[in-house]
Amino acid sequence: MGITSLLFLLRLYLPIGAAVLLGFALSAGLAQPWVKQWSLRPWNQLVPTYLGKFLFFVGVPLSIVIFLRQADLSQTVWLAPVVAWVAILLALLCSRLWIQPYKQGWTRPSQGTFSLAAMLGNTGYLGFPIVLLLPQLGPDYFGWALFYDVLGTLFGAYGLGVLLAERASVDRPSQGRTLKKSALILLKNPTILAVGVGLLLRPVPLVPPVELALSGLAWVIIMLALVMMGMRLQQLRSWGHVQSAVMAVAIKMVLVPLVIGMGLTAVGIEGPVRLVLVLQSGMPCAFATLVLSETYQLDRDLAVTAVGLSSLLLLVTLPLWIWGFATW
């Protein structure tokens, strides 16, 4: 590995790793006894909860509006959600095929969590920063990552994912109630509203100082999202079912992005667009996997292990996809 490659990885990993480690250390520090004595409520739980709410309702939607001003939204950008759904359905198929021979030894909740872990990736809180920080991509290609996440992962998690979780749940609610709940979750998601607002505001001109200030604010929000990721990772507990998690992560982070990358190359899609789509399809297991597993009483231990393991594996897979599918 040459000096240039090492410098490239350092440029990419340093801001991401620093922000995630800061969140990890902050969460660990807030859990110390001397901090707890200053409040009746645990600060290590309160801070990521409120930070998460701020990012969900204000921060991330605002950054989407800002970055959309710089994104290239050519007609082909609508290919991104199509690729996202191909990746989701491919992962679902592979997960069911893997489970089939061992079905008798798997509980229904474990089967559901396994498929969710293989299907859903962290294409927002982690996928956005990686695309924005890569010198071959940056804000110009943010639109591809955004539409992959919003029209692919988001609908996959709270549409198909909810239906799958409901079917795997021990206490199964009625299908009508599940569909209604999924629709309400999607309609209330501020990310979808932010996309609409961002598209409307793209033609509005701004003076350079205001544009620069907004860009700086958007980057602060992106770093805060990574800090929150670090806090959540520090609080993951009860890792179990490592063998099952390894296979779900292999499907999610190795098999699916490899097939997506080869498929895009076969149809003539190369360069930065291919790299964005491969990276998004190879993101670690989403925290939505854990949320759905807890909500529908599935296999929480498997979900925790898959999320933690896949986040660590990204350090290995990320340079492989960059060097394998980037156009230098």
pLDDT in tens, 41-53: 788 888 888 998 8
Residue that the structure tokens 């296979």 belong to: 247
* Owning domain of residue 167: 3-325
Q: What's residue 259's pLDDT?
A: 97
**Under 8 Å between Cβ of 276 and 148:** yes
Bridge partners (DSSP) of residue 121 are 285
- Looking at the predicted structure, is the pLDDT value of residue 85 above 80? yes
**CB-based burial, 152-182: b 16+ in 10 Å, e otherwise:** bbbbbbbbbbbebbbebbeeeeeeeebeeeb
pLDDT in tens, 271-280: 999 999 999 9
* pLDDT confidence bin for 4, thresholds 50/70/90: low
How far CA 220 is from CA of 181, 191, 216, 217, 224, in Å, comes to: 33, 18, 6, 5, 6
Average pLDDT score over residue span 200-204: 89
- Looking at the predicted structure, is the pLDDT value of residue 181 above 90? no
Average pLDDT score over residue span 205-223: 91
170/11: higher pLDDT:
11
Q: 270 in the Ramachandran plot: left (φ > 0), alpha (ψ -120 to 50) or beta? A: beta
Report the percentage of the chain scoring pLDDT > 70. 91
- Looking at the predicted structure, is the pLDDT value of residue 173 above 60? no
Q: What is the mean pLDDT of the chain?
A: 87
- Looking at the predicted structure, is the pLDDT value of residue 6 above 70? no
- Looking at the predicted structure, is the pLDDT value of residue 176 above 70? no
Closest CA to 179 of 169, 192, 166: 166
Number of domains in the chain: 1
Closest CA to 80 of 26, 143, 10, 160: 143
Instruction: Tell me the residue type at 233.
Output: L
- Looking at the predicted structure, is the pLDDT value of residue 38 above 90? no
Q: What's residue 296's pLDDT?
A: 87
Q: What's residue 66's pLDDT?
A: 92
- Domain containing 53 — which CATH number? 1.20.1530
Residue that the structure tokens 């670090």 belong to: 230
CA distance 206 to 88: 38
How far CA 75 is from CA of 78, 177, 203, 224, 326, in Å, comes to: 6, 37, 17, 32, 22
**Under 8 Å between Cβ of 302 and 247:** no
* pLDDT confidence bin for 81, thresholds 50/70/90: very high
Q: What's residue 328's pLDDT?
A: 47
Average pLDDT score over residue span 8-34: 87
Q: What's residue 273's pLDDT?
A: 94
Q: What is the gyration radius of the CA atoms in the chain, in angstroms? A: 20
Q: What's residue 232's pLDDT?
A: 87
Report the percentage of the chain scoring pLDDT > 90. 47
Q: Where are the alpha helices (DSSP H) in 72-207?
A: 79-99, 108-119, 127-133, 142-148, 155, 161-168, 175-188, 190-201
pLDDT in tens, 257-296: 999 999 999 999 999 999 999 999 999 999 899 889 988 8
pLDDT in tens, 224-254: 999 998 988 888 877 767 888 999 999 999 9
